[in-house]
Amino acid sequence: MVSSRLFLVALAAILQMQITYGNRQHVAHEAVCSQVTNERPTRDCRWHANLDVYVDQKILKGCRVVAFQIKWFNGRWSGWYVPGVNDIDWKVNTGLKRCNGIVISHNTMRRIWSYFSDHYHTYIKCCPRN
């Protein structure tokens, strides 16, 4: 798809800059990036972890989600979202929840990747090269 190719070219330009992994920093040539396509819902409640931009590293074992799409229940795919740029969800967390050591408070904002838990999704991840 042409728009996906253009997006990947733009993403490659962004990756020429620095990618941060927690307290360690890697430049783009030290990261391995790949696209995960049409991933099943994870059923992992940690994706709802408020506005935590590092929850992806916790769930994906050190890898970072650099862009993602959600497949809505009507079968259509969303546009691309970039964590920390255009990914604040229009819904909020309801009720107090505890999930794998993370407290998710009532009436708190969340990121759109919260839909990874119950929707199909596609994402581009970058992992530190070992």
pLDDT in tens, 113-130: 999 999 999 999 999 887
Let me know: does 98 contact 36? Beta carbons within 8 Å.
no
What average pLDDT score do residues 52-65 get?
A: 92
Residues 38-51: tens digit of each pLDDT: 999 999 999 998 89
Residue type at 80 in one-letter notation: W
Query: Residues 44-68: what's their mean pLDDT?
Result: 92
Helix, strand, coil abundance in the chain, percent, nearest 5: 25, 40, 40
Whole-model pTM: value is 0.78
Q: Is the pLDDT of residue 37 over 90?
A: yes
Please compute the mean of the pLDDT values over residues 12-16 and round it to a whole number. 48
Residue 49 CA, chain-centre distance (Å), reads 12
Domain borders along the chain are: 2-128
pLDDT at 49: 85
Beta bridge mates, 103? 98
Contact 33, 125 (CB under 8 A): yes
On whether the CB atoms of residues 45 and 103 are closer than 8 A, the answer is: no
